[in-house]
Amino acid sequence: MPTIKQLAANEAKEKRFRGGHSLCSGCGIPIVVRTVLNSIETPVVVVNATGCLEVATTRFPNTAWNVPWLHVAFENAAAAASGVESAYRALVKRGKLPADEPVTFVVFGGDGGTYDIGLQSLSGALERGHQFLYVCYDNEAYMNTGIQRSSATPFGASTTTSPEGKISFGKAQQRKDLTAIAEAHHVNYVGQSAISHWHDLSDKVKRAVEVDGPAFINVLSTCQLGWRHEPREAVKVAQLAVDTLFWPLYEVVKGRFRLTHIPEEIVPIETWLRMQGRFKHLFKEENAGALEVIQQQIFDEWERLKERDRNDRAHFAPLQKDQTFTTEFEMV
């Protein structure tokens, strides 16, 4: 397992993602980016879709990036990464770049640029089998442009385009299961993590960059502005998303599924919802039935995931007793 000291050593060695950005206080995105980049040992090239991360880290004449970095539009980050990765392989084949010094290609995109606008190019890149890691920082709405709902926005959440009020309940649809969609492309690695579990995320990144072909990790990243919680409680809110089973942590390696974290105590979903202003209307008397529906859906999904875990667990090396994750991955 990577320790805090080891990650700090990687950070100090190169400082791939520096301070000085203008991301909000309490934003989960810097945790995602630093954990991902500090968990990769090889040189890194980053492709960044338009979004909070891009806008807040590259305001001319400053930048927080200390790696080769390419900004592209919302819709084509995965396509651009495909081109960069293909060009790299061609140069290695021609002897223009050393074959014994591999480069890791990482794509960062928010839920707007991944679940919605960029899904087509992501799907194409996954299907073609390009060698890169795509990381979605999922804060469950278009936060950069005014907190509009996305297909990652949970059922019942109030946003500027799905507001709660006299004629609107909040978002009326269930959120899209993008992690499952990525898995359906038959890639060798898919994972789901959260900013509250940096060790779990780091561990998954290490495994993801070692597989052949593309890998995808979906990371729950809090947004104090859109979720309407106290900035200082960002990690706590993410932790509760995991402990309530709203956001299960798992991975799918070569088609085999396992849960990478099982909460010691399952917390009622109401606890997580109450911490966020975007759900406050759900606690009105007339909306009491919605809470029951949300809780039942979460329990049903958890039972389904546990069944998958039971069926596939034998294909993995045992987890260490004091951990819910492992540094070394092995399939039987």
Give the whole-number percent of the chain exceeding pLDDT 70: 92
**217 phi/psi in degrees, rounded to 5:** -130, 130
| Best CA proximity match to 201, nearest among 193, 209, 211 | 193
Distance CA 204, CA 133 (A): 11
User: What phi-psi label fits residue 227: left (phi over 0), alpha (psi between -120 and 50 degrees) or beta?
Assistant: alpha
Distance CA 295, CA 204 (A): 28
- In which residue are the tokens 């359906």 written? 184
Give the global pTM. 0.92
Given a contact cutoff of 8 angstroms between Cβ atoms, the answer to whether 224 and 25 are in contact is yes
Given a contact cutoff of 8 angstroms between Cβ atoms, the answer to whether 122 and 115 are in contact is no
Using one digit for the tens of pLDDT, what is the confidence trace for 145-177?
Answer: 999 999 999 999 999 999 999 888 899 999 999
- Out of 5-19, 213-227, 281-295, pick the least confident: 5-19
Token pair recorded at residue 163: 């507001």
Q: How much is the average pLDDT of 67-85?
A: 97
| Best CA proximity match to 47, nearest among 133, 106, 120 | 106
Q: How much is the pLDDT for 169? A: 87
Q: What DSSP character marks residue 262? A: -
| Best CA proximity match to 46, nearest among 115, 142, 144, 137 | 137
Q: Where are the domains of the chain?
A: 4-315
The yes-or-no verdict on residue 1 having pLDDT over 60 is no
Alpha helix stretches (DSSP H) within the chain:
4-14, 29-38, 52-57, 77-93, 111, 119-128, 178-183, 198-208, 224-227, 234-243, 269-274, 288-312
Q: How much is the pLDDT for 12? A: 59
- Strands (E) located in 63-158: 69-71, 104-110, 133-138
Given a contact cutoff of 8 angstroms between Cβ atoms, the answer to whether 10 and 38 are in contact is yes
Q: How much is the pLDDT for 324? A: 44
Q: How much is the average pLDDT of 246-271?
A: 97
**189 phi/psi in degrees, rounded to 5:** -145, 130
CATH number given to 4-315: 3.40.50.970
Q: How much is the pLDDT for 317? A: 74
Q: How much is the pLDDT for 286? A: 87
Q: How much is the average pLDDT of 291-295?
A: 95
Q: How much is the pLDDT for 277? A: 98
Q: How much is the pLDDT for 168? A: 84
- Out of 270-279, 293-302, 311-320, pick the least confident: 311-320
The yes-or-no verdict on residue 312 having pLDDT over 60 is yes
Q: Is residue 248 very low, low, confident or very high in pLDDT (cuts 50, 70, 90)?
A: very high
Using one digit for the tens of pLDDT, what is the confidence trace for 121-135?
Answer: 999 999 999 999 999
